[in-house]
Chains A and B, each alone.
Chain A
Amino acid sequence: GAVVSQHPSWVICKSGTSVKIECRSLDFQATTMFWYRQFPKQSLMLMATSNEGSKATYEQGVEKDKFLINHASLTLSTLTVTSAHPEDSSFYICSARDFLSTDTQYFGPGTRLTVL
């Protein structure tokens, strides 16, 4: 099956620094990638949708200047949490969809971000 990887799997940073999370589709071309945020014991909340080569579409309430998304190639999308604060601590999960399957998303293993 299709595999999506995320790097790093966990990261701890100081308040005020920026953190970049990578999401890669390993064996397929992902025309669309999604970024989700998950708080403990809660569901996944969609943050943004990114299509390769174009600007990401952010969900209502998500600060686009805070959470920078780049989808420069068909196999890589990055999420940069800028000037991170403790309230940004969360589990970030990406998913990817290839152009052949509009309904199925393949999820990455997630990145645990802790901001001190």
Chain B
Amino acid sequence: AQSVTQLDSQVPVFEEAPVELRCNYSSSVSVYLFWYVQYPNQGLQLLLKYLSGSTLVKGINGFEAEFNKSQTSFHLRKPSVHISDTAEYFCAVFNDYKLSFGAGTTVTVRA
């Protein structure tokens, strides 16, 4: 069975500061990993995904994530955030043709 743990429920950050959102997963098999962003009252938008190959994955809006198999982690980072990055972020693992989501991390960017 798959499970995803997002270690931070809320992350306040100042504009232009870096941010890291932590995600750990548990799986006994190879996994595909995803990060999604959800803006208020909207659906989910794919930020990036790791399927195989390079462990450093670059996504949209300046986000990147690093897959670490030994630590079973897939942390999301952005070197400089904007006010518009205020949103809910979900880490997800794909297995058996289904996505399992973490509980989400609320990022609030302040000026």
A residues contacting B by CB (< 8 A) are 4, 6, 32, 34, 41-44, 46, 49, 91, 93, 95, 102-110, 112
Taking the nearest CB of chain A, how far is it from the CB of B45, in angstroms?
Answer: 7
Is there an interface contact between A103 and B43, defined as CB atoms closer than 8 Å? Answer: no
A interface SS class: strand
**Known interface pairs A42-B103, A44-B101, A49-B98. Does A104 touch B49 (Cβ–Cβ under 8 Å)?**
yes
Q: Is B74 an interface residue (CB 8 A)?
A: no
Kindly state the separation between the CA atoms of A34 and B99 in the bound complex, as whole angstroms.
10
Q: Report the interface size for chain B: residues with CB under 8 A from the other chain.
A: 21
Kindly state the separation between the CA atoms of A12 and B43 in the bound complex, as whole angstroms.
19
Contacts of A34 in B (CB 8 A): 98-99
**Known interface pairs A107-B44, A109-B43. Does A46 touch B104 (Cβ–Cβ under 8 Å)?**
no
**Known interface pairs A103-B32, A107-B43, A107-B45. Does A46 touch B99 (Cβ–Cβ under 8 Å)?**
yes
Contacts of B46 in A (CB 8 A): 104, 106
